[in-house]
Amino acid sequence: MEVNYRSTRSDAAPIPASQAILKGLADDGGLFVPDQLPVLDKSLGQLAEMDYQDVAYEVMKLLLTDFSEEELRTCIRNAYDDKFDTKEIAPLKKADGAYYLELFHGQTIAFKDMALSILPHLMITAARKNHIDHEIVILTATSGDTGKAALAGFANVKGTRIVVFYPKDGVSPIQEKMMVTQEGDNTCVVGIHGNFDNAQSGVKAIFTDQALREKMNRAGFQFSSANSINIGRLVPQVVYYVYAYTRLLKNGVIREGDRVNFTVPTGNFGNILAGYYAGRMGVPIGRLICASNSNKVLYDFFTTGTYDRNREFILTSSPSMDILISSNLERLIYHIAGDNAAKNKALMDELTRDGKYTITEDMRERLSQFTGGYATEEDTKEAIRSLFESDGYVIDPHTAVARSVYEGYRKATGDTTPTVIVSTASPFKFETSVLKALGQPVDADDLDLADALSKIAEVPVPKAVSCLRGAAVRHTGICDKSKESMQKMVEKFLGIED
């Protein structure tokens, strides 16, 4: 089955996966979605006998059909290697009746590594396949984790440059330190005076600026994206849902065909959308439990059918979820509208114009697999504290949001289906918040706090954190949140300013 990718906002002809990865965003501002979803051609039992790399190939070959086996296996081999501190890549840990899928064993200790370790390899391969001789400029907005993972993935990759925008006062100290100390002459990091939604909106506006695109083309550049709007980010995430299910199968927790629930801490909606795709490809997923923090725009959407971003933006201890415009939700809206681009575009136009939209009852019925929940800051702290006291297992605030929401769901429904909680970041990335939740003092340097957390959790400080000690700050760029200011920073970095 050949899978191509079409825009969520028009009926333009679909394009191959490699071209969609290079473009990042469709010309009409829509997101690329597969024109059909294939079903796994290996049984779950067969996949249970494979390691992560082989499972990745079996899943991705079905969605990236214009990549040859050799090309795809090379990308996978280069991505999932000793950059990860465990051969399992994504181990499952049981604690307090749930299974935690640890997606933070990569070089930036967050789940974004799962996709951003492979995206540069997919992109360079795609450029070669499509005879691209322009330099690829990766333009990305981050709420904290995507930025560092993308920087680490693309640093010093020949034929690419990368520009990352982040909210100056909206990430954790460790997250910021990881980004501003990033090495690589092809990297640029800029803090904006605004929030993640401002950064994301600015990046989208720059992407769709035709005059800038023509200017860059003349100078030998072309844009692409490492955000989760890029289908090359989404496809690798489907893998770990398949992998998690098959590990439960291999370990005798479930039998083939049994359903498994997944609880996902959710901001931009790409992670949980990958779970939705995994289910449509044949993984027996029961509930997809969408966990929000106090910025509960998604919880309200699943509860009422209205998406409304007209509300206060709240800074929380789980900053990667401090998002009011969940870009990847557009892909789900497209699908529940019957893959109807016109219906989806009308709703997205409403969102741009009014800051909200309401889906039809028929569309709501197609969301029956999803359940929403949210956790307050106090709920988050309690989830960290109680799990450590019961099991000696330390989790970060994002994972704690998911745990809190799952506990609420389990009590409300009595659902005893085996459940995987997607653990999206190491607690060492948010050691101040974690130590506070554990009742520990936090009046020390961030790296000293990491040492303190290491003693309490009885886990070594990850290399991604320990290597920051003494690292020089290389990126000091700051601008306001306007598209014009952000664009000037991009043009300056590329040497094409007027």
Measured in degrees and rounded to the nearest 5, phi and psi for residue 36 equal -160, 150
The H or E element spanning position 54 is helix 52-63
Rounded CA gap, 133 and 149, in Å?
A: 25
Q: Which amino acid is at 481?
A: K
> 38 — alpha (psi -120 to 50), left (phi > 0) or beta?
beta
Query: Pairing mode, if any, of strands 15-16 and 4-7?
Result: antiparallel
| C-alpha closest to that of 83 among 58, 109, 120, 56 | 109
The catalytically annotated residue of 23, 42, 112, 381 is 112
The residues, ordered by sequence, that sit 6+ positions from 437 with a Cβ below 8 Å of its Cβ are 380, 381, 382, 384, 385, 397, 400
Rounded CA gap, 138 and 126, in Å?
A: 14
Q: Which residues of the chain register pLDDT less than 50?
A: none
Q: How far apart are the first and last CA of the chain?
A: 48
Q: Count of CB atoms within 10 A of residue 36's CB?
A: 10
Token pair listed for 81:
């290697």
pLDDT of residue 220: 96
pLDDT of residue 446: 86
CA 306, 348, 11 angle in degrees (round to 5)?
130
pLDDT of residue 28: 92
pLDDT of residue 431: 94
Rounded CA gap, 359 and 304, in Å?
A: 9
pLDDT of residue 227: 78
Token pair listed for 434:
């974690």
From residue 484, give the alpha-carbon distance in Å to each of 261, 327, 458: 44, 21, 48
pLDDT of residue 498: 84
Q: Count of CB atoms within 10 A of residue 472's CB?
A: 7
**pLDDT tens track for 59-93:** 999 999 999 999 999 999 999 999 999 999 999 99
Based on the residue annotation, tell me whether 112 is a catalytic residue of this protein: yes
**pLDDT tens track for 158-177:** 899 999 999 999 988 898 99
| C-alpha closest to that of 170 among 202, 150, 198 | 198
Q: Count of CB atoms within 10 A of residue 141's CB?
A: 29
The residues that bridge with 4 in the sheet, in sequence order, are 16
